Structure 1
């Protein structure tokens, strides 16, 4: 009787979760198949993993709150969000579909009159950021996924403290998981005592309740800084040193950051405001918005995505951008586990004669991602893509350049986490001079990389291929 009861429970669990997966029309066929494999090969482990991580859902309350926040933003800040019709006058016809698609995600369309500076390295970013905070007159808004108590993190925190003490309105958001050490630290308390208004995105005060009601790995991965409404920073660097002391064996973390001025600052300001209102549950009135164009500036738009936006918005944006390339596209990302649409877009671009360059870190801090990434190498190389593996540390820069004219920079990786789980922020712009600067930076990454050849991949031991492909089989649910 005991064995019969156990068999019934076993069958009920597998059948119940299989039916749940089949009932979900938001899953792609590969993701559905991956869950079937996990649940049938390791039923109890698979059911537990599905229960904890299987569904991307913040709940109806969070989605309703998100919709209300953006409806409020659109009602009161429409002049700062750009207009769909302006795409036809600001953007080259080849790239209009990508800018239109980016605008459809959360309503930010390109506005002209922006300028930007590509910062030399992590040290230059930290120095410039602290100087800008020290010079702030009215307000400073910052949001980081990872904020450490190292030199960079401490300098930023102390700059905010100094600004708050002289009367500048300072608001800071840190992710509850990525910045969990800082949130419990004396430094965080000192900022609060000094008058910095603090918020935690997706706090982990009760992780068990979080696991029961949502997913513990739904995070705010954004990196946003807005100063006095006329300066914003965008890129891949968290508030942390490149030595990245929580994972020092992969250091240095190699990031890319840009400092923007112009109307795109107001869009980043609005994206920060949406996160603030979501995290604090309060209306953020009176934030300073400026749309002062810079003479001769270029068109740019903010692209924000997250689990409360429509599904697959980010991979569809990448696919549209890749499809717009005519001569060359170069992509750098630390985490490459694309969905089928992005993978096929890369392969199709190479087949139609576009020079497709892909740069990934040789040594990845995620062995799962590393294996899944390499499972795609053979198809990409056979299509004519050029793959380089960066050897100078963990290449954390997320960049995409198209034809030396259009670029995307920000926080999004090419993996499921960025596609479906994380809140991300990017800036998409059209400017030959600035895109060429990013292209030069990408070339410097390639100069510190090893080229991967089809012959090398063909000589991988059979067990390496089996391992890579086995991991990739569950790639859609990683």
Structure 2
């Protein structure tokens, strides 16, 4: 055997051992569905070297040891909410009807936030009205303003927010603003970001990217903070799908308008959202917000409703978000109405929706007709046939990109927030939602869902059966990629 042949065999053997080692890692990795493990093993073993590199970069929900430690340390540092002065009065109003208590127990298991009573909510008219409402509250703020956005654009609404923060800081209000390092990179790199800093606004970047190569070695780049949190004066908070941007959404203007939804809350629920913001802030900034979190709470409204913040992410309990969705789906008895822009479910969620319709629950889902992600749009449509055969009503929205993430059930319970019904929201993103029990607020959300329905077209099983074989093949093939994520 000559030397060249020897080194060729040695190199081949090392590559083979490397592939087996990475495949074994994929098998042993916790919190993976069997389909996901199998998909990754196929990729690793069938695509020499590239499969290994793909797995090391994208195969594990790894945010990096330092960041994971900082996130968990921040949560541990936050004082228990029960230590807040006046919290006993809140606990006395925190009852949830027995029929829905089990749903809030699932939410409680995620962050330790129990449902709190005495809350009030107002549904904003549209995206522009939502930004205007936030700015009005910022202009009236007297102590603190906290903002966290996944996407913050330097457009009309984005710059209005910049100026509102500058005004608030100039009159002595403590303003803290955080934006995701990827979703808001253009704003972070712009002069507007620096202008806020110069005006006295405290700024932070959530999950900064920095050097791409170094960042990739420390953890997945595509694990993002997708939350949208606003907390003002420790007494007002907002929750929904609204980023800090115009409906025209210039970075993806061809899909405009982007149609979002936002609720304005007052009451004890604000303190839970404040804690979620504080955990994200303290993970990135060396600043203890405990004193703010322990400020005395205003008496809750005796006419308010119970609600609960649910914050999920890669350093929170695994499978938390899909468990919340599935519990709500199985909890429906009469009506279930969902709007979501991105639908790439795991098997148990798809089965839960089918079972919901089969047991006689009127089950309706609205998706956008044109999705800004071709891959997600195609994958979503691969699930249409099974849903329709089970009796789920599917509509596609034609009035723009329906970005609202809403779920209402039985005219009494609402889930609203940032989480989509896809694997990215399930496993990779930090998300924030609020679960509430209130017939009045749920009726307002249901009316908005019906307005979305009026601008949508039904998708029938007959229509799906006429899709060309090439379209069906493409959709199903793309959906097969889902478990690899």
The two structures share one fold, judged by TM-score above 0.5: yes
1:199/1:45 Cα in 2 relative to 1: closer, same or farther (>3 Å)?
same
- Relative distance call for 1:80 and 1:255 in structure 2 (3 A) is farther
Q: Is the 8 A contact 1:80 1:263 kept in 2?
A: no
For residue 247 of structure 1, give the secondary structure of its aligned residue in structure 2: helix
Partner of 1:416: 423
Structure 2: 5+ residue runs without aligned partners?
none
Unaligned runs of 5+ in 1: none
Give the aligned partner of residue 190 of structure 1. 195
2:309 aligned residue: 302
What is the rounded CA distance, in whole Å, between the counterparts of 2:389 and 2:87 in structure 1? 41
Using the TM superposition, give the Cα deviation of residue 61 of structure 1 relative to its aligned residue in structure 2, in angstroms.
Answer: 3.8
- The residue correspondences of 1:194-233 to structure 2 (distance < 5 A) are 194-233=199-238
Alpha-carbon distance between aligned partners in 1 of 2:232 and 2:222, rounded to the nearest angstrom = 30
Instruction: Show CA shifts across 1:145-176 (max 9, x none).
Output: 00010011100011000000010000000110
Asked if 1:237 corresponds to 2:242, the answer is yes
Secondary structure, counterpart of 1:146 in structure 2: coil
Q: 1:324 corresponds to which residue?
A: 331
- What is the Cα deviation at residue 80 of structure 1? 8.5
Separation (CA, whole Å) in 1 of partners of 2:383 and 2:253: 28
Would you say 1:390 and 2:397 are equivalent positions?
yes
CA displacement 1:369-418 (0-9 Å, x = unmatched): 11111111111111110111111111100000011100000000011111
**Residue 140 (structure 1) aligned with residue 138 (structure 2):** no
**8 A Cα contact 1:82 1:109, kept in partner:** no
Alpha-carbon distance change, 101 to 134 in structure 1, aligned in 2, over 3 angstroms: same
TM-superposed CA distance for 1:23, in Å, is 1.5
1:340 pairs with 338, 343, 347, which one? 347
Aligned to 1:252: 257
Equivalent residue, structure 1, for 2:173:
168
Q: Is the 8 A contact 2:71 2:280 kept in 1?
A: no
Matched residue, 1:284 = 289
Shift of 1:285: 3.7
- 1:467 to partner: Cα distance: 1.1
CA deviation after TM superposition for structure 1 residue 340, in Å = 1.4
Counterparts of 2:429 and 2:111, CA distance in 1: 15
Residue of structure 2 in register with 1:445 after alignment? 452
Per-residue Cα deviation, 1:337-395 (whole angstroms, up to 9, x for no partner): 01112111111111111111011111111111111111111111111101111111111
In terms of mean alpha carbon deviation, does 135-144 or 29-38 score higher?
29-38
Task: Classify the secondary structure of the residue corresponding to 2:250.
Answer: coil
* Count of residue correspondences: 477
Shift of 1:78: 4.4
Structure 2 CA distance for aligned equivalents of residues 87 and 469 of structure 1: 51
Distance change >3 Å, CA 80–CA 448, structure 1 → 2: farther
- For the 8 Å contact 2:127–2:246, the answer to whether it is kept is yes
Tell me the residue number matched to 1:154: 159
What's the TM-score, normalizing by structure 1?
0.96
TM-superposed deviation, 1:283: 1.8
CA deviations on 1:21-77 (whole Å, 9 max, x unpaired) are: 111132111111221232344333322221211111224443333333223324465
Tell me if the contact between 2:86 and 2:299 (Cα under 8 Å) persists in the aligned partners: no
From 94, 102, 105, the counterpart of 2:110? 105
Could you tell me how far apart the structure 2 residues matched to 1:413 and 1:150 are? 25
- Give the aligned partner of residue 366 of structure 1: 373
- Aligned-pair Cα RMSD in Å: 2.0
1:433 paired residue number: 440
Report the TM-score when normalising by structure 2. 0.94
CA deviation digits over 1:414-465, x for unaligned, max 9? 1111101111111100000110111111111111111111111111111111
Q: 1:72 maps to what in 2?
A: 77
1:30 to 17, 35, 38: 35
Please report how far the alpha carbon of residue 129 of structure 1 lies from its aligned counterpart in structure 2 after TM superposition. 1.1
The CA distance in 2 between the partners of 1:412 and 1:55, in whole Å, is 20
Contact 2:79 2:290 in 1 (8 A): no
* 2:94 and 2:118 in contact (8 A); partners too: no
Matched position secondary structure for 2:292: coil
